[in-house]
Amino acid sequence: VADGVEARAEDLARVETADNGALLRSHRRGVMPRVAHNLRYFADRLLALAHPDFETRGHTNHVTWDPAGPAVLITPWNAPLMLATWKIAPALAAGSTVVLKPAEWTPLTASLFADITHGAGLPPGVFNLVQGYGDEVGAALVADADVRRVSFTGSVPTARRIATAAAAHLTPCSFELGGKSPLLVFADADLELAADLAVEQYDNAGQVCLAATRILVEESVRDAFLGHFLDRVTKVTQGDPRDEATGIGPTIHPRHVERVDGFVRRALAAGATPVIGGGRNTGLGGNYYLPTLLTGVAQDSEIVQEEVFGPVLTLQTFPDGDEEEAVRLANGTRFGLAATLVTGDRDRAERITARLVAGTVWVNCFFVRDLSAPFGGSRQSGVGREGGDWSFDFYCDLKNTVTAPGKWEARHG
């Protein structure tokens, strides 16, 4: 299957850009190679999956991972094929069959992937694709008594509905949900690096669950940080995602643009100030929304507390040297998916990261990910972890076989 993805990588990249508006160069250079890597990684990981036998009063304990059974995978629209194979690969490697229900806004690469699995020789019924709306198709799938696992990436309200339906049969669920991640910048940080990382949060027009949309800066370096940030962001080109020069493309859908703009308009009405952006890109029209940075926002405001999922960042400050306040602001939402910290002090980095509520913390970097690492969120950012052996623990039923000591009867013939 991975070979088939690589053979059709250009087709997949172009179709996905047409479907969701993400940058074509990103699909070519990063996303589609990652799709193939997802498949190969979990195939290899399966071969290394083992737990050493251990003894209990002379009895041998032997741990195995048995396929759990049919897995329903419901995937989002912001990175459709990559995030789908992040679930498909370990489920198939575990020996569980798969029913994929992709997001209705981005169905196309899932259908191409189904063709690739067929061409690769997967037996009928091993990988299954069902297109449709969540309220119809998704609801029927997660409530089915024959389903043994449900994995969902998306919003908190939808996860609640899935969990309620799955509870009738005690079907285990894995949820990767929203985020409202902080980017903490201390006065001892490399401010140019901090500005680079902040501008990187506009990747995929801000439609990234991990995005550090809440920038928290130590008061004394606020203006210096803003200077570096504005110098960089004004050089980023917004335009056609098929153009190599484009840095920020459109958002996914007219309804989503309206949702993003609604958050910003309400924030402005509540007293927020736009440092940049603050509305639609009228020069481009369509689904383009200007990269936006808002100041003058309160910690309990909607724009700080709720996931916008667009190219919208907020800037808050904390008093000089006040790590307690920095952590309070960073942890001050119902989410806990990720956090980014920029500091030149190793001891401070260790102190702060130990107190941050997040499934992933990046120190002086962003979006460095390894498939061997656990991925998921705390609080309302999710339930469970994916990646490495954690994926197999979910898509399998673990079994411990205990064998008594003694001689076995020899068999002949």
Minimal CA–CA distance to 204: which of 30, 35, 58, 55? Answer: 30
At which residue do the structure tokens 């995602």 appear?
Answer: 241
Neighbours of 140 (CB within 10 A): 14
Catalytic option among 16, 176, 218, 307: 176
CA–CA distance, 192 with 247 (Å, rounded to integer): 19
Residue 129, Cβ density class (10 Å: 0-12 exposed, 13-18 middle, ≥19 buried): middle
Element (H, E) at 347: helix 346-355
**What letter represents residue 166's amino acid?**
A
Phi and psi angles of residue 395, each rounded to the nearest 5 degrees, phi first: -85, 5
> Which of 255, 264, 293, 256 shows the shortest CA–CA distance to 277?
293
Which of 229, 231, 174, 158 is CA-nearest to residue 199?
A: 229
To the query of whether residue 209 is one of the catalytic residues in this protein, the response is yes
Catalytic residue among 55, 104, 200, 209: 209
Round to whole Å and give the CA distance between 137 and 211.
29
List active site positions. 176, 209
